[in-house]
Chain A
Amino acid sequence: DIQMTQSPSSVSASVGDRVTITCRASQGISSWLAWYQQKPGKAPKLLIYAASSLQSGVPSRFSGSGSGTDFTLTISSLQPEDFATYYCQQANSFPFFGPGTKVDIK
């Protein structure tokens, strides 16, 4: 199985900050990676697929990059509605999620 790790596990940030979350796969997955946002009590929401493609309706302040084993989700200017938990997910074989990164208010 391909395992996923994320760092940091949590980050405190302010509105307007640039936030970067890293995801690493235990073996190469090309660009088979997605990012999801989950708010408390809500279902996850797809933000990025194929490592860098923005899902329809998702604000352009979200961007993804990387390939192989190392990936990054960047929020260019954090907005109040962005405080949430973010998960990466590999889609190369059986889907596997990372442990999540909680973004909260500093």
Chain B
Amino acid sequence: EVQLVESGGGLVQPGRSLRLSCAASGFTFDDYAMHWVRQAPGKGLEWVSGISWNSGSTGYADSVKGRFTISRDNAKNSLYLQMNSLRAEDTALYYCAKSKYSSSSYFDYWGQGTLVTVSS
């Protein structure tokens, strides 16, 4: 059974940093691209970032480019999101999502999310 479990969320002040983690199990982690998708309270879905199976390619939404860094550790079956210079508008539930294929942007499994609240 595929499982994605996010952690690392919490309350943080504007301008500070936070690192999210996603622990994956139930599939061959290093065969698939992985992504972060967020959802602000009461709002829609926003893709944040993605990383290829071998970390050779990464992508970011314009709203987080230069502030967030995605990475993965295939030996630990883990995905990460380093979030710096956080802003109030980064407040959201952050989901980890698995690509359906090795490099597609179809998300066939999602975690339950970790909540990030940016507030003073």
Whether, in the assembled complex, A99 has its beta carbon less than 8 Å from a beta carbon of chain B, the answer is yes
Alpha-carbon distance between A96 and B37 when the two chains are bound, in angstroms: 10
| Majority DSSP secondary structure for residues of A touching B | loop
Could you count the A-B residue pairs with CB atoms below 8 Å apart for me: how many are there? 56
Binds B, one of A17-25, A42-50, A64-72: A42-50
State how many angstroms separate the Cβ of B16 from the closest Cβ of chain A: 27
State how many angstroms separate the Cβ of B73 from the closest Cβ of chain A: 23
Contact with B along A82-97 (1 / 0, CB 8 A): 0000010101001111
Question: What would be 22 A-B contacts, judged by CB atoms less than 8 Å apart?
Answer: A32-B105, A34-B106, A36-B45, A38-B45, A43-B112, A44-B37, A44-B45, A46-B100, A46-B106, A49-B106, A55-B108, A89-B45, A89-B105, A91-B105, A91-B106, A94-B47, A94-B59, A94-B105, A95-B50, A95-B105, A97-B44, A99-B44
- Chain B residues proximal to chain A, CB less than 8 Å: 35, 37, 44-47, 50, 59, 61-62, 95, 100, 104-108, 110-113
